[in-house]
Amino acid sequence: MSFTLPKRAVPRLNRSELAVPGSQPRMMEKAAQSGADVIFLDLEDSVAPDDKPAARANVIAALNELDFGESTVSVRINGLDTHYMYRDVVDVMEKSGERLDLIMIPKVGTPADVYAVDMLVTQIEHAMQRKKKIGVELIIETALGMQNVEAIAAASPRNESLHFGVADYAASTGARTTVIGGPNPDYVVLTDKDAEGNRDIHWGDMWHYAIARMVVAARANGLRPIDGPFGDITDKDGYLAQARRAAVLGCEGKWAIHPSQIELANEAFNPPEKEVDRAKRILAAMKEAQAQGRGAVTLDGRMIDAASVRQAEVMVAKAKLIAGAGRSKAAGKAEGAKAESKRAARA
Ligand code: GLV
Ligand code: MG
C-alpha cells in the first residue's frame, strides 16, 4: 500500500438515485415513498427558467413536510454560471430544517466550483447551527469537468460521489448519441472477413473511457462513482445492460429518471449472492488460516491472495449495508401499516 490512504466518504447505499423535478410536487410525494437509496429533488435542468422560484419553494416544502423514510435526500442546485445558484443554496439550507443530506452540483468544471459551494454551505451551516454536515455530489458532464476530474474529486472533504452526466457530456464533447446513456450503432468494430467473406459487427460501449476515468478519480479519493441517466424508460433490458457495464467498471449505482428504473438499478448493483457467499468463505478461510498460524490461505484448492481478501471485505461490507437497509425499510413499512390501521380504526 502507498503511505497515502484515501479517506472513504460517509458510507451510504447509492444503488438507485431517483431524479425528481422540483416543479412537480405530486412526483416528489410519490418519490418520497419510492424507497430509492438516494432521491434528488431537482432545481436545475428539469425545471424551466420561469418555474425556478416556485420549484425552490416546492422543494423546501417537500423537505419540511414529506417523509422520505430511509432514503438519502439530495437537492440538485443550478449551475454556478446562473444567478439561481446562490439562492438555491441559501434558501434550501436556511429553510429546510435538518432533513437534507446532500447537495448535488451540476456541470462542475474546476475544483474552484466545489470550493465556492463548500464555502457557502459552511457559512450557512455555522450560521444556522446545523447538526448534520451536508455532503456534496458532483456531476461530471462537461469536457472541462472530465479534464479536471482528479482535482475536482479531491476538492473538498464534503465530496461524497461523482456522477457521470452522460446527456450534457455528449452535448459538451460533441458525441453523437441516439438514446441518452445508451450505445450508438456507429460505434462498432468489424471483424476481419472469414473464409466466406462474412464479417461480424461488435457493438462497443462509447461511454467506457469516460466512466472508467471517473471511477478511478472517485475511488482514488474515497468517493462513490455513480452512472447517470438512461433515457429510454421503456427499454428495461437496455437500462440493465448499461447499469451492469457500469457496475463491472466499479460504479456503485445509477440514476433512475423514472420510478420503474429503481428496482432495475438495485438489481444491477446488488452484489450477486454467489459472489457474496464466496467472499464470506474467503474471509472465513483467512480467519481459520490465521488462527492456525498458516501464512498461505487456500479455498477450493486455489490460493487466496491479499487482494482477494480485500475484495471480499468490500463485498461483505456492502452486503451488510444492503441487508441493514432491507431490514429498516421493512420495519418502516410495518410502522407505516400500523399507523395506517390506527388511523382506520379512529375513522
Ligand atoms: C445529467 O444531468 C446529464 O446531463 O446526463
Ligand atoms: Mg446534465
288, 324, 327, 332, 341 from 320: Cα distances, Å: 21, 6, 11, 18, 32
Strands 201-203 and 16-21: unpaired
By the 8 A CB rule, do 107 and 85 touch?
no
63, 232, 333 from 166: Cα distances, Å: 28, 13, 35
By the 8 A CB rule, do 158 and 118 touch?
yes
Q: Please compute, for residue 209, the number of CA atoms within 13 A of its CA located in the half-sphere on the CB side.
A: 9
| Domain 16-270 homologous superfamily, CATH | Phosphoenolpyruvate-binding domains (3.20.20.60)
Q: Which residues line ligand 1 (CB under 6 A)?
A: 106, 139, 141, 165-168, 228-229
* The pLDDT of residue 329: 61
- What separation in Å is there between the alpha carbon of 166 and the centre of ligand 1? 5
Residue 314 to residue 321: CA distance in whole angstroms:
11
Name the pTM for this structure.
Answer: 0.90
Residue 245 to residue 252: CA distance in whole angstroms:
11
Q: Where do we find the cell 462542475? A: 108
* The pLDDT of residue 16: 98
Residue 180: nearest ligand to its CA? 1
- Each of the 347 residues of the chain gets a pLDDT tens digit; together they read 888 888 999 989 999 999 999 999 999 999 999 999 999 999 999 999 999 999 999 999 999 999 999 999 999 999 999 999 999 999 999 999 999 999 999 999 999 999 999 999 999 999 999 999 999 999 999 999 999 999 999 999 999 999 999 999 999 999 999 899 999 999 999 999 999 999 999 999 999 999 999 999 999 999 999 999 999 999 999 999 999 999 999 999 999 999 999 999 999 999 889 999 999 999 999 898 888 888 778 888 888 888 888 889 988 988 988 888 766 665 555 554 554 455 455 44
What is residue 179's DSSP assignment? S
* The pLDDT of residue 339: 45
For a ligand 1 pocket test, name from 169, 177, 257 the mutation site with the most ligand atoms within 8 angstroms of its C-beta.
169
* The pLDDT of residue 305: 86
Nearest atom in ligand 1 to 229's CA: 5
Domain boundaries, the chain: 16-270, 275-346
Nearest atom in ligand 1 to 167's CA: 5
Residue 200 to residue 250: CA distance in whole angstroms:
29
Nearest atom in ligand 1 to 45's CA: 2
* The pLDDT of residue 318: 86
**Counts of helices then strands in the chain (DSSP H, E):** 12, 12
Residue 229 to residue 164: CA distance in whole angstroms:
8
